[in-house]
Amino acid sequence: MINIDAHNHVSGKSIYLDDIIEWKGTLYALPFDVPVAHAKLGQIHMSGALSMAGVIAIFTAKDIPGKNQIGGIIADEPLFAEGEIHFWGQPIGIIVATSERICRLAREQIKIDFTALPVITDPREAQAKNMLICPPRNFQMGDVNSAWDDCEFVFEGEVNINGQEHLYIETQGAYARMKEDGSILIASSTQGPTAVQRTISNVLDIPMHKIEVDTVRLGGGFGGKEDQATGWAVMVALAAQKLQKPVKMVLHRMDDMRMTGKRHPYSADFKIGLSSDLKIIAYEATFYQNAGAAADLSPAVLERTLFHATNAYFVQNVHVTAFSCKTNLPPNTAFRGFGGPQGKFVIEAAITKVAESLGIPASDIQKRNLLQDGDEFSYGQIVDQCEAQNAWNSCE
């Protein structure tokens, strides 16, 4: 089978957001922020920007007719910063002008008073100060505490896992216009059209049936547009409603990378115990998830980390705990695997440490502990029709 879009992609006929033929009178929007990760906001001086030729309007939190809130799982993320900045790149408002170039020139003229506050970027420090997105979660099976006495080998360690930029080919963007019946038509580069529709409804205080979201295709997503595409769509919808003009915003790559969340960085502690024949008897891990400044999808990502904490291995005694830690980074978000790679990486790091300490190949430990039918995960699921052994043997 050939992908339905293959011919259009390679011939350049596929229409992405920035390829849409622009409606007459289209205006352009650009977000603005301050170069600080945590601060009390003071006065916003916009007169210099507003006096520039081609600048039509500047919108901030005070211009929102509904709720200044775009949080999905937890309502903890304002569309525009109000009173306090929680991460470098947090939007304070948007500039609307007759060209993107004028928007950029105007952004340089906006001056914002602020008082810097302490910045936390380490999830362990956030956890120690009880700065958590949600209550901690844990899975356990068997009795880890008593199992250590049955282990021939016990090793402990710490693991740090960095984040990862999605780098989708098409940056975040949206294009909105008012229809003659007062409804809004919005093209959005989003993985979640319903989230865009629902959030615009809340922020603009209009019913959902007055909002039409059009998403033909994405220039990549990888999870980065599951939740984080929403805010930009809401911004252009707000501007289109206020000005009764079509408004378009496509983020510059540098703005996109600076203002959006990534794959979650994690820090973790582990303790692993094995028998003399290299069976994993006990495993304990504590995960410190760096959620960033707001929840976004972090609670769900956190759960996936716990689900994958023992990877493809059966461990009789397990105790894994995870903290979603609030820091002064852009809210981190979904990314292929959705927290699973971080959980798997920690137990693989533990196995690697055991192997290096004992002077044996890590594969000796991995193969001996692969899941089989009838085994149980720490969250209660029973393994059925497991292909771990077959896959391993095929690779060999």
Question: What's the pLDDT band for 112 if we cut at 50, 70, 90?
Answer: very high
Predicted TM-score (pTM) of the model is: 0.96
Closest CA to 273 of 385, 178, 144: 144
When pLDDT is averaged across residues 368-391 and rounded to a whole number, the result is 97
| Average pLDDT rounded to a whole number, residues 233-237 | 98
All domains of the chain in start order, with CATH: 15-117+166-259 (3.90.1170.50), 123-164+262-395 (3.30.365.10)
Per-residue pLDDT tens digits for 321-356: 999 999 999 999 999 999 999 999 999 999 999 999
Q: pLDDT grade, residue 315 (50/70/90)? A: very high
pLDDT of residue 3: 87
- pLDDT (0 to 100) of residue 219: 87
Mean model confidence pLDDT for the chain: 97
Rounded average pLDDT over 353-373: 98
Res 14: pLDDT: 94
Query: Is 4's pLDDT higher than 90?
Result: no
Measured in residues, the chain has a length of 396
pLDDT at 269 (0 to 100): 98
pLDDT(100) > 90: yes
- Averaged over 220-247, what is the pLDDT? 97
Closest of 269, 310, 312, 270 to residue 124, by C-alpha: 269
Contact 237, 116 (CB under 8 A): no
For range 82-109, the mean pLDDT? 98
The predicted structure's pLDDT at residue 2? 85
